[in-house]
């Protein structure tokens, strides 16, 4: 894909899937901006990719607005926004506190809205742009009600924005990663599930893989490849869509509902 001359902002781009997306977009020629709450790691990743690190807390609209202003002032444009920053708190719904619910909605749904709103204003003026929202495969999943609710909100936002921004040649799509077992922030939740089910990691992994038709874990690079396609010229006629990168997995996650009794 040729992204030469394009400026891409990746929220939560310092680590995990976001870093893989930033790496891929930089490889394809874009100037990448790592917008992460972790300033130190944002700088390390930005240096590695010859990009720019800007500390950003997506839960704060002022922080997000400053990010977009700095990018447009310093780099002159904003072509690609990847809303990747996200958190998960894995609990039964009956164990979720008010603060748990707010933390998840604020980072995932509110943060995505703030960034879409700020970037869309710039992209409308440019008469071009690509917004990619990282969600998850939507559906029932024990221990994930607040998380799935936040990602469902993003999916609703994606579909509405796609219509509102289409007249300005801005496309808005969602990408839904499958299970990524190691090397991302989600790893601790998979390990907790293995423990909950009384399984050692090898047994748990074998059981997870049985639910994935293509027979392996999703990798951050699999997700990055889909993002690279959706932001490319090849995808200029695609908007308001969601793309699962799940190896064919369609089930309810890694914890059978009856075994979800009890709490993590
Ligand atoms: N890993 C998986 O299996 C998986 C599966 C489906 C969807 N996802 C989604 O992919 C995205 C990335 O997940 P990951 O597993 O790579 O996570 P991760 O924890 O490895 O990385 C998340 C990054 O976001 C940053 N971040 C957190 N809060 C922030 C905030 N308020 N403002 C700015 N940056 C913030 C973190 O510092 C970190 O660098 C998330 O939206 C997640 O919901 C992950």
Instruction: Tell me the per-residue pLDDT of 78-87, one tens digit each, with 9 for 90 and over.
Output: 999 999 999 9
Q: How many CB atoms lie within 10 A of CB 83?
A: 30
> Which tens digits make up the pLDDT trace of 186-233?
888 889 888 888 899 999 999 999 999 999 999 999 999 999 999 999
Q: Mean pLDDT, the chain, as a whole number?
A: 95
38 pLDDT above the threshold of 90: yes
Residue 224's pLDDT is 98
Indicate the pTM of the whole model: 0.97
172 pLDDT above the threshold of 80: yes
For ligand 1, the distance from its centroid to the CA atom of residue 103, given in whole angstroms, is 13
Helix%, strand%, coil% for the chain, nearest 5: 50, 15, 35
Residue 137's pLDDT is 93
Which of 151, 193, 252, 261 is flagged as catalytic? 151
Residues with CB under 6 Å of ligand 1 are 11-12, 14-18, 36-38, 56-59, 84-87, 107, 111, 134, 136, 177, 179-180, 184-186
> Which tens digits make up the pLDDT trace of 20-35?
999 999 999 999 999 9
Pick the atom of ligand 1 nearest to 106's CA: 31
Residue 251's pLDDT is 82
Q: Could you tell me which residues come within 8 angstroms of residue 80 by beta carbon, excluding any fewer than 6 positions away?
A: 3, 6, 7, 8, 9, 25, 30, 129, 130, 131, 132, 231
262 pLDDT above the threshold of 70: no
256: left (phi over 0), alpha (psi -120 to 50) or beta: beta
- Paired sense of beta strands 242-245 and 80-83, if any: unpaired
Residue 135's pLDDT is 98
Closest Cα to atom 41 of ligand 1 = 86
95 pLDDT above the threshold of 70: yes
Q: Is 188 a catalytic residue?
A: no
101 vs 263, residue with greater confidence: 101
Q: Is 252 a catalytic residue?
A: no
Pick the atom of ligand 1 nearest to 220's CA: 16
Residue 226's pLDDT is 98
Residue 167's pLDDT is 98
Residue 152's pLDDT is 98
Closest Cα to atom 25 of ligand 1 = 12
Residue 263's pLDDT is 60
CATH class of 7-260: alpha beta
Hey, where are the domains in the chain? 7-260
Q: How many CB atoms lie within 10 A of CB 183?
A: 15
> Which tens digits make up the pLDDT trace of 64-76?
999 999 999 999 9
3-class DSSP state of 82: strand
264 pLDDT above the threshold of 80: no
């Amino acid at each position: 894909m040729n992204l030469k001359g394009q400026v891409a902002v990746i929220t939560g781009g310092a680590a995990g899937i976001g870093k893989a997306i930033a790496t891929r977009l930089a490889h394809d020629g874009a100037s990448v901006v790592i917008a992460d709450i972790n300033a130190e790691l944002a700088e390390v990743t930005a240096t590695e990719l010859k990009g720019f690190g800007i500390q950003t807390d997506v839960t704060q609209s002022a922080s997000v607005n400053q990010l977009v202003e700095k990018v447009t002032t310093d780099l002159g444009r904003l072509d690609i926004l990847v809303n990747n920053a996200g958190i998960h708190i894995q609990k039964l719904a009956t164990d979720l506190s008010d603060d748990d619910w707010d933390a998840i909605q604020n980072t995932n749904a509110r943060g995505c809205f703030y960034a879409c709103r700020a970037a869309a204003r710039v992209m409308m003026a440019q008469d071009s742009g690509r917004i990619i929202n990282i969600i998850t495969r939507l559906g029932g999943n024990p221990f994930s009600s607040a998380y799935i609710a936040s990602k469902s909100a993003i999916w609703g936002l994606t579909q509405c924005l796609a219509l509102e921004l289409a007249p300005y040649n801005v496309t808005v799509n969602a990408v839904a990663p499958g299970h990524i077992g190691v090397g991302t922030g989600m790893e601790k939740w998979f390990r907790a599930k293995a423990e909950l089910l009384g399984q050692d990691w090898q047994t748990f992994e074998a059981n997870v893989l049985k639910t994935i038709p293509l027979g392996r874990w999703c990798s951050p690079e699999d997700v990055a490849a889909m993002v690279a396609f959706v932001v490319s010229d090849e995808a200029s006629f695609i908007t308001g869509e969601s793309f699962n990168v799940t190896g064919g997995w369609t089930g309810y996650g890694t914890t059978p509902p009856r075994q979800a009794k009890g709490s993590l």
